[in-house]
Structure 1
Amino acid sequence: MQHHFDTAETSAGCPAHQNVKLYGPEFGAEPESHYAYLRAQGPSAPVDIAPGVEVELVTSYDTGLHILQNPVTFVRDARRWNALNEGRVPEDSPALPMMGYRPNALFSDGAAHARLRQAVTDSLATVDELQLVRQTQQSADYLISRFSSDARGQAELMADYAQPLPLLVFSDLFGCPPEIGDRVITGISGIFAGTPGADVTLGGALAELIALKHESPGEDLTTRLMQHSAKLSDEEVLHQLVTLLSGGTAPLAAAIGTSTALYLDEQWPAALPVEDAVLQTLWNYAPIANYAAHYPTQDVELGGRILRANNPVLISFAAANTDPRLTEHREQLSSKAHLAFGAGPHACPAKDPAFMIAVSAVESLLNRLPDIEMRVAFKDLAWVPAPWSRSLVAAPARFTPRAVKPAGAPADTATAPVAHVPSTTVPRIPHTVPRSQSKGGLFSRFLAWTRGE
């Protein structure tokens, strides 16, 4: 059903009141109709990304690619943001944590970006692909063990599986000991759930992790970032970690959840592999839907519109990937030509590991619970009503109950059901809590499970 936008009822004296709102339940229910309306305005159009926050949103694939690949005219430094500098952005706006400046590669340009980016890409290049797959499978087995023997034979795959899985994998990759890993997971989960103080929890845990790695370096991404020849300061290391963890967990969780639901849907062709489900998710349900704020260094004419210097221009990866002018020729494109991972100098540096984790996560679930099926058709599933991501609210499934044990566990060691605590509602643990009180979090329980405890 197409939604009809009536701008005639808005005030003619205030153009911002005529903007399409890219937030709330109406947008969440029908994002495609919003994008179709915006496309009719041209390759870009003004929208409200949050209450009182106007941005220019690019819905054209070609225009989005042009901006992403043109770092001279379109820069990423959010300190240029006119409305923010002029006090016109609400202090409590949900857009600020997503768009506000941070001293990391994502919000840097030129030499500063090159230096930080190199440290990130070089560190990621040391990740062993086979070990990453094993870690994903082990994390998947643990999460499945928490609900697989439930007598009801039911699970909610977003909260029970897709959301916590990347957090477990990343906690291991970054060398978090159990207590710090628990607080990292709590902080990341809280940021995306809007939990007050979650950023303080995460920052405190990462600062403690960095201090620990100074004392005891390890074979992990945190240590490699700290020891890189770019000589990052501790503050720079912390902000790269925040970007990698936040950018690599929630979007990856969305990709795992959507790909799983898509593959298990009755309409999915049985002959197509899991990789195809992940690719279709990246094309049609881009996990990062609208993001990558750019700031023109000067007034720019684009598609008949003037983009003013230092006003934010966001890329709608979701709309660009489904641009009708693109889909007409999609068979001629590479399967990886989608913009779900961005493009240009700021493209996601971990796109290959992310794809590998998503595929391994779906395959692990199918291998452990071969008769699993969705309880709701894919077309009837609800989506989170947020502008930044395209993520399922829930993915209810059913299966035949069975026990899942850790690899190497004794044959007579059964895995008892574990009470489920959704990752997005884990109680916040302040970073000042003594270690003895914070034992037993998700990462601690995972590590204990791998030891057969």
Structure 2
Amino acid sequence: MHQSAGSHEPPPGCPAHGRTPLYGPEFGADPEGYYAYLREFGATAPVDIAPGVPVELVTSYSAALRILQNPSTFVRDSRRWRDLNEGRIPADSPALPMMGYRPNALFSDGAAHARLRNAVTDSLATVDEHRLTRLVQRVAEYLISQFSSRSIGNADLVADYAQQLPLLVYSDLFGCPADIGDRIILGISGIFEGSDGANEVLGGALMELIALKRRHPGDDVTSRMMQHSSGLSDAEMANQLVTLLSGGTAPLQSLISVGSALMLGDDRYVQTQSSAGLLVEDAVNDVLWNYAPIANYAVHYPVHDVELDGKVLKADDPVVISFAAANTDPALAQDRALSGGRAHLAFGAGPHVCPAKDPAMVIAVTAIETLLNRLPDIELRIDLKDLSWVPAPWSRSLITLPVRFTPRAPQVRQAPQSAGSGAGAGRPSAPAASAKNTRWSKFLTWLNGGV
């Protein structure tokens, strides 16, 4: 699926002098070609991350690591953003939802960051890996049952599987009852799709969930975060949950869909009579190295002018880490071979390294393994090289993943004792009449033996 970097000439639409636009269909079709061209500027290069939004993009692995591991010089608080403060950023810029300040761990530094982050990491650490695996298997089986019984034997693994699975898993981990879970999924999905009012729907649902857990704590991540010694307020709780949802669902969607594409269409992974192929874990690591789900993000602001590899980074001007370019830095080739595949930056590094990287690996690997086990004859409907990618600078994700398989008859399911780490535990049951024809309540109905 890699694109050729070509001759490293300025990409189409790129001015001969000035900033390279890191958005639009040309970038989406060949990001590797853009990164190859930008490396000629040195460790960093001037780009527009969105129309009228200039940033310095870090394409060097060593420079990225230096910034990520130096929080005293490079901070995350975007209230320092000079161009925004001086009115030069368009008010309707698509970069603002990604770069604008929010009172959460992602945009905090020092003691404030440690307090918020510890509440998240300590709560996530209580999630049992075996229970999480069983939960993912159940969610995966439910989603597969929804599309595998179609008589046509076709599906889009992005829309039908990879987009939905993380949302259902998190709804369980957060201990959501049916009605609140439906609105949380509606809200976070709407934010990714740009739907009007989605942010209000999500915010209202999360505040209801928080109020419920204050009254009725359960065996779930939301309750554990509330009970943490950090003493998070309701507003802080809501902001941390939004961060976990937005920062976890989209990257996991990419990890599951691209990993599935490799397992189904890359000769190194496809099992044949003469070869067993590589493992799902190998495919997931391949994605993390070569198709970093969070491609360009982790915005930092130098607290003073800093010289980095011969270039001066100005104080309070945004510096964006290109995880995609850093991971594929040609200077890293030998180190990649020696590291055993574990030194990628797809989860970040330093004090802001992803707090959910271990659960994310469990979810992605289990989701792909369950898919392959339940549909052993599943295959791509188009060649791997012909798959289309979302033309966005922030993430590397497939638009669709069309597959075919032999349809399966719907299965009757018996209700289990427990759905996993949160569903049905430590909270009042939602009345059956309130269950709506939406994703979370439909899953709960199926889980309890319904259809």
**TM-score in same-fold range (> 0.5):** yes
Q: Is the 8 A contact 1:142 1:406 kept in 2?
A: no
1:198 maps to what in 2?
Answer: 198
In 2 relative to 1, CA 65–260 (structure 1 residues): closer, same or farther, beyond 3 Å? same
Q: Is the 8 A contact 2:372 2:378 kept in 1?
A: yes
1:416 maps to what in 2?
Answer: none
Give the counterpart of 1:295 among 292, 298, 301: 301
2:444 maps to what in 1?
Answer: 447
1:353 maps to what in 2?
Answer: 359
Q: TM-score by structure 1 length?
A: 0.91
SS at match of 1:295: strand
Aligned length: 424
2:345 maps to what in 1?
Answer: 339
1:144 CA displacement: 0.6
1:103 maps to what in 2?
Answer: 103
1:400 has 2:397 as partner:
no
Distance in 1, matches of 2:68 and 2:267, equals 35
Distance in 1, matches of 2:29 and 2:446, equals 39
Distance in 1, matches of 2:333 and 2:193, equals 34
Distance in 2, matches of 1:184 and 1:42, equals 43
In 2 relative to 1, CA 402–7 (structure 1 residues): closer, same or farther, beyond 3 Å? closer
1:42 maps to what in 2?
Answer: 42
SS at match of 1:392: coil
Q: Which amino acid aligns with 1:277?
A: A
Give the counterpart of 2:385 among 379, 386, 391: 379
Deviations 1:161-208, CA, capped at 9 Å, x for gaps = 000000000000001111110111111111111112211111111011
Task: Note the 1:31-430 alignment, pairs <5 A.
Answer: 31-269=31-269, 270=271, 271-403=277-409, 405=411, 408=414
1:440 CA displacement: 1.9
2:420 maps to what in 1?
Answer: none
Structure 2 spans left out of the alignment, 5+ residues? 272-276, 417-431
Q: Which amino acid aligns with 2:239?
A: H
Please, which moves more after superposition, 296-305 or 262-271? 262-271
Task: Note the 1:4-23 alignment, pairs <5 A.
Answer: 4-5=9-10, 10=15, 18-23=18-23
In 2 relative to 1, CA 312–216 (structure 1 residues): closer, same or farther, beyond 3 Å? same
Distance in 1, matches of 2:382 and 2:412, equals 30
Q: Which amino acid aligns with 2:381?
A: R
In 2 relative to 1, CA 267–196 (structure 1 residues): closer, same or farther, beyond 3 Å? same
1:336 CA displacement: 1.5
Q: Is the 8 A contact 1:141 1:406 kept in 2?
A: no
1:11 CA displacement: 8.8
Distance in 2, matches of 1:8 and 1:391, equals 22
Q: TM-score by structure 2 length?
A: 0.91
In 2 relative to 1, CA 217–24 (structure 1 residues): closer, same or farther, beyond 3 Å? same
Distance in 2, matches of 1:30 and 1:289, equals 13
Distance in 2, matches of 1:261 and 1:11, equals 36
Distance in 1, matches of 2:232 and 2:69, equals 26
SS at match of 2:231: coil
1:304 CA displacement: 1.6
1:406 CA displacement: 6.3
Identity score, percent: 65
Q: Which amino acid aligns with 2:438?
A: G
CA RMSD of aligned residues (A): 1.8
1:211 CA displacement: 0.8
1:429 maps to what in 2?
Answer: none
In 2 relative to 1, CA 383–104 (structure 1 residues): closer, same or farther, beyond 3 Å? same
Q: Which amino acid aligns with 1:229?
A: S
Deviations 1:65-112, CA, capped at 9 Å, x for gaps = 110000000000010000111111111111111111111111100000
In 2 relative to 1, CA 220–326 (structure 1 residues): closer, same or farther, beyond 3 Å? same
Q: Which amino acid aligns with 2:10?
A: F
1:47 CA displacement: 0.5
1:344 CA displacement: 0.3
Distance in 2, matches of 1:207 and 1:329, equals 46
Q: Which amino acid aligns with 1:4?
A: E
In 2 relative to 1, CA 69–285 (structure 1 residues): closer, same or farther, beyond 3 Å? same
In 2 relative to 1, CA 338–126 (structure 1 residues): closer, same or farther, beyond 3 Å? same
Q: Is the 8 A contact 1:290 1:315 kept in 2?
A: yes
